[in-house]
């Protein structure tokens, strides 16, 4: 009976805001985790023998990745020392553009996290998350469909997204001018993409599972 009564007030404005914050949190938190998951690159290096193929040690490659990830996550860092590689002006500008997007991601992550903490403190999530289970389920289904589409034609989608987000085309690295691109193969970005999708799904299914638990509790 309690469940039926509650369903009469289904989906008000605050419910939609909570749903959006959960989705934004899942997306931005997954982005943060993938950026800092250097082990993905280590696996790709060993799988493709990048260190032997391009005569660069594993430690140097991993160090350079850390330099790049530190740069895109810290607006106060100027320049990158990627020994033995040198970045062209266009390549450096691209990393700067990426940093702007990462800063936006982290801002959204901070705001969505703060919102979820407040709603948890007010016990809104504990009482009303069950209302969003259908929408969370649909979101996860859409996510899986998007992942399948992207995995089927990853290269074309990767290029299309870059052309849309970075219209200045400074994301196109020449192997001669910017040989760093040789040790950042498409397979690495594909792995990051797959892990990112998996993390978003796991976070969403965590919220979904908690909402389903509330439904079972309300029935009793």
Tell me the pLDDT tens digit for each residue of 134-191: 999 999 999 999 988 888 889 999 999 999 999 998 999 999 999 999 999 999 999 9
* pLDDT score of 220: 56
Residue 219: how many other CB atoms lie within 10 Å: 9
Q: Would you tell me the crossing angle of helices 186-219 and 38-48 to the nearest 10 degrees?
A: 130
* pLDDT score of 8: 43
Q: Are 25 and 116 in contact (CB under 8 A)?
A: yes
Mean pLDDT of the chain: 90
Classify 46 as helix, strand or coil: helix
User: Residue 39's pLDDT band (boundaries 50, 70, 90)?
Assistant: very high
pTM of the model: 0.89
* pLDDT score of 215: 83
Residue 116 to residues 16, 86, 110, 149, 207, Cα–Cα distance (Å): 13, 43, 10, 31, 11
* pLDDT score of 11: 60
């Amino acid at each position: 009976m309690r469940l039926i009564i509650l369903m009469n007030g289904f989906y008000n404005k605050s419910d939609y805001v909570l749903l959006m914050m959960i989705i934004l949190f899942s997306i931005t938190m997954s982005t943060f985790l993938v950026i800092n998951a250097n082990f993905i690159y280590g696996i790709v290096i060993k799988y493709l023998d990048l260190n032997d193929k391009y005569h660069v040690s594993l430690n140097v490659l991993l160090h350079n990745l850390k330099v790049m990830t530190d740069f895109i996550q810290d607006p106060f860092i100027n320049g990158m020392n990627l020994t033995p590689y040198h970045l062209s002006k266009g390549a450096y500008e691209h990393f700067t553009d990426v940093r702007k997007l990462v800063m936006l991601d982290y801002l959204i992550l901070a705001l969505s996290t703060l919102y979820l903490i407040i709603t948890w403190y007010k016990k809104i999530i504990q009482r009303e998350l069950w209302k969003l289970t259908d929408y969370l389920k649909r979101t996860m289904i859409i996510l899986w469909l998007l992942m399948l589409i992207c995995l089927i034609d990853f290269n074309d989608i990767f290029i299309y997204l870059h052309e849309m987000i970075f219209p200045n085309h400074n994301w196109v690295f020449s192997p001669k001018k910017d040989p760093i691109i040789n040790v950042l193969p498409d397979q690495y970005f594909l792995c990051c993409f797959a892990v990112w999708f998996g993390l978003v799904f796991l976070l969403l299914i965590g919220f979904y599972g908690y909402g389903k638990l509330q439904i079972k509790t309300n029935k009793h």
